[in-house]
Amino acid sequence: MHPARSVILFTSLSGIGFGFLIWLGLGIPKAVGGVGAVYYALAFALTVGGLIASTFHLGNPQRAWRAFSQWRTSWLSREAVLAVLALAIMALHGAAAVLLGYQPAFLGLLGAALCLATVLATAMIYTQLKTVPRWNQPSTPILFALLSLAGGALLAGRMDPALWLLIAAGAVQLWAWLQGDKAFAENATTLATATRIGEEVRAFEPPHTGGNYLMREMVFQVGRKHALKLRAIAFALMIALPVLIILVNDKHLMVGIAVLLHFAGVLVARWLFFAEAEHVVGLYYGRAQTPLSSE
């Protein structure tokens, strides 16, 4: 899939933002008054920034309000609704923390649950797609949630949970990659089922020599060597280095660096999340069924 900048930014920013809000909702750390204002502002900046970024890839963002309507069927709509609810609740929660100096527990729990639900809804937008076998797996929502929580924990300065969450996220990320690499081949859809004209079938001529939306959007391909390199970088930044930093030293400055490294890693991983995802429609365009094409 085409790794659109707006979508990468959106999922990464809002992921870490909601993660932070979850911790704040749980009252970890206790953040009230001036400090609270900074914490909440940061969390809202991340989530709202992400949400704003998400509208950049819309063809008609002025109608975005319509996306709240189909929560009964659409994960994207659910995500929108949940995001607003979560932000509203957490805004109240934050207001109480900053203005009243206390974090109402029930509101916080509710807010945290909504934030987690929002992150899961985002993940489900991708997970639900049978057309993209790499995404259509349990690891997708788990990884989204773990990364969100881990990032949030880093921001919240909670190193113990952060450590374990990072390790868990790292494990799930490796699992997602391993499974993902096999997913396309293991999925039942092949050029033969796509065309039903025989087993030994090969794309001969594309329908148009000119490009089209599908090819730009869905038939993006990233070279295997390139992807492996990026995976290594993503893993190092997102998991390994932050873990190392935590283990070695947990001074605040170092935590800041860990957060930045982690977030940079998440961005790279998200880029790969999209760039490596093969849509079954690629079969019609003669894209090989191997998970990663050779360069």
Which of 26, 92, 171, 194 is close enough to bind other proteins by CB under 8 A?
Answer: 194
Q: Which is nearer to other proteins, 44 or 285 (CB)?
A: 285
Q: What is the DSSP letter of 62?
A: G
| Mask for 32-51, x = binds other proteins (CB under 8 A) | --------------------
Q: Which is nearer to other proteins, 106 or 204 (CB)?
A: 204
254 with 225: CB under 8 angstroms?
Answer: no
CB of 234 to other proteins, least distance (A): 23
* Residue 117 sits in the site that holds other proteins (CB under 8 A): no
Triad 198, 201, 202: Cα angle to 5° = 165
* Residue 191 sits in the site that holds other proteins (CB under 8 A): yes
Q: In whole angstroms, give the CA distance from residue 89 to residue 71.
A: 19
CB of 84 to other proteins, least distance (A): 13
- Nearest of 263, 245, 264, 241 to residue 254 by alpha carbon: 245
Q: In whole angstroms, give the CA distance from residue 91 to residue 114.
A: 12
Q: Which is nearer to other proteins, 196 or 252 (CB)?
A: 196
Q: Which is nearer to other proteins, 83 or 154 (CB)?
A: 83
- Nearest of 243, 269, 268, 270 to residue 257 by alpha carbon: 243
1 with 218: CB under 8 angstroms?
Answer: yes
3-class SS string, 97-159 = HHHHCCCCHHHHHHHHHHHHHHHHHHHHHHHCCCCCCCCCCCHHHHHHHHHHHHHHHHHCCCH
Which of 21, 31, 87, 132 is close enough to bind other proteins by CB under 8 A?
Answer: 132
* Residue 53 sits in the site that holds other proteins (CB under 8 A): no
* Residue 289 sits in the site that holds other proteins (CB under 8 A): no
* Residue 217 sits in the site that holds other proteins (CB under 8 A): yes
* Residue 295 sits in the site that holds other proteins (CB under 8 A): no
Q: Which is nearer to other proteins, 49 or 206 (CB)?
A: 206
Q: What are the phi and psi torsion angles at 134 (to 5°)?
A: -60, -30
Structure tokens at 262: 């982690």
Window of 29-37, 160-168, 189-197, 235-243 that interacts with other proteins by CB under 8 A: 189-197
Structure tokens at 193: 């089922």
* Residue 279 sits in the site that holds other proteins (CB under 8 A): yes
* Residue 223 sits in the site that holds other proteins (CB under 8 A): no
* Residue 128 sits in the site that holds other proteins (CB under 8 A): yes
How many residues can be counted in the chain?
Answer: 295
CB of 235 to other proteins, least distance (A): 26
The total of other beta-carbon atoms located within 10 Å of residue 190's CB is 15
Q: In whole angstroms, give the CA distance from residue 202 to residue 13.
A: 41
Which of 61, 101, 138, 223 is close enough to bind other proteins by CB under 8 A?
Answer: 61
Which of 203, 230, 236, 240 is close enough to bind other proteins by CB under 8 A?
Answer: 203
Can you give the binding site for other proteins, defined by CB under 8 A? 1, 57-61, 63-64, 66-70, 72-77, 80, 125, 128-132, 188-189, 191, 193-198, 200-214, 217-218, 279-281, 284-285
